């Protein structure tokens, strides 16, 4: 018995059905990949924010509020500068015989643009790097050892010391804001830090407050 072939209408309907199935599958794959990329970007943004906040919190915990300085820059936000009495090789907090801190260096945290064509608008650039610059003064702060040296002399002007080649603590950040004693009556020794990153045009942020000891 001779089999009847498919008509043109049947072939057209079958082709249309296959095309619809492929279109639906392609859309599901596209939106699935986009959701996965957004989730991956969100996790990466959270990871970078956590790194930035963890490093800042740990160093400020061993700093002295009296030795913290903040400078605001119009394009890149806050520059945080403070004296550190931590011996970097051992991680120990060093003190002089009279119990006062043996200040080792100035430490600066600030954002820097990656440069090039990746960020033509520096203010809105979501790819800034959080840099940590360590400046060893080589001087003691105790008047007993050198009366001409005071703590004020050891506080360098952060804007004169910034470099773009300092080690990066975190990347792909957009904003850093540091405030010293935003509520001086209630919390006179508070350091408030806010860090932001941008994920698929959506802002993600972390903030914390810390109360460094006033080391004398």
Q: pLDDT, tens digit, for every residue of 77-127?
A: 899 998 888 877 777 887 777 777 877 788 999 998 876 555 667 777 888
Phi and psi dihedrals of 165, rounded to 5? -100, 15
From the centroid of its chain, how far is CA 18?
49
- The better pLDDT of the pair 169, 32 is held by 169
Integer Cα distance of 103 and 95 in angstroms? 8
Most confident of 121-125, 135-139, 159-163, 188-192: 188-192
Contact 108, 162 (CB under 8 A): yes
> What are residue 170's DSSP bridge partners?
130
> What are residue 108's DSSP bridge partners?
81, 133
pLDDT of residue 155: 54
pLDDT of residue 192: 93
The gap between the terminal CA atoms of the chain, to the nearest Å, is 106
Number of helices followed by number of strands (H, E) in the chain: 3, 10
Average pLDDT over residues 174-181: 91
E strands, 4-162, are 68-73, 77-84, 86-87, 92-93, 105-112, 128-136
The confidence band for 176, taking pLDDT boundaries of 50, 70 and 90, is: very high
pLDDT at 39 over 70: no
- The better pLDDT of the pair 213, 139 is held by 213
Tokens of 106: 């100035």
Q: Is 139 left (phi over 0), alpha (psi -120 to 50) or beta?
A: beta
Instruction: Give tens-digit pLDDT for 180-199.
Output: 999 989 888 899 999 988 76
The confidence band for 152, taking pLDDT boundaries of 50, 70 and 90, is: very low
Q: How many CA atoms lie within 13 A of 201 on its CB side?
A: 0
| Interstrand relation of 92-93 and 86-87 (parallel, antiparallel or unpaired) | antiparallel
pLDDT of residue 201: 65
């Amino acid at each position: 018995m001779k089999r009847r072939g498919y008509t043109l209408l049947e072939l057209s309907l079958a082709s249309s059905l296959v095309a619809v199935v492929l279109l639906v599958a392609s859309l599901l794959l596209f939106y699935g990949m986009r959701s996965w990329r957004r989730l991956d970007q969100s996790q990466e943004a959270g990871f970078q924010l956590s790194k930035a906040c963890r490093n800042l919190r740990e160093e400020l915990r061993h700093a002295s509020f009296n030795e913290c300085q903040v400078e605001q820059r119009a394009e890149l936000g806050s520059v945080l500068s403070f004296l550190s009495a931590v011996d970097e090789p051992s991680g120990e907090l060093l003190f002089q015989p009279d119990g006062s801190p043996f200040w080792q260096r100035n430490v600066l945290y600030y954002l820097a643009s990656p440069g090039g064509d990746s960020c033509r608008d520096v203010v809105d650039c979501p790819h800034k790097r959080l840099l940590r610059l360590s400046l060893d003064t080589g001087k003691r702060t105790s008047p007993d050892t050198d009366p001409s040296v005071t703590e004020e002399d050891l506080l360098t002007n952060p804007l004169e010391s910034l470099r773009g080649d300092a080690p990066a603590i975190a990347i792909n950040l957009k904003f850093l804001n540091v405030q010293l004693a935003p509520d001086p009556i209630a919390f006179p020794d508070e350091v408030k830090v806010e860090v932001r990153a941008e994920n698929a045009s959506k802002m993600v942020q972390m903030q914390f407050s810390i109360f460094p000891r006033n080391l004398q």
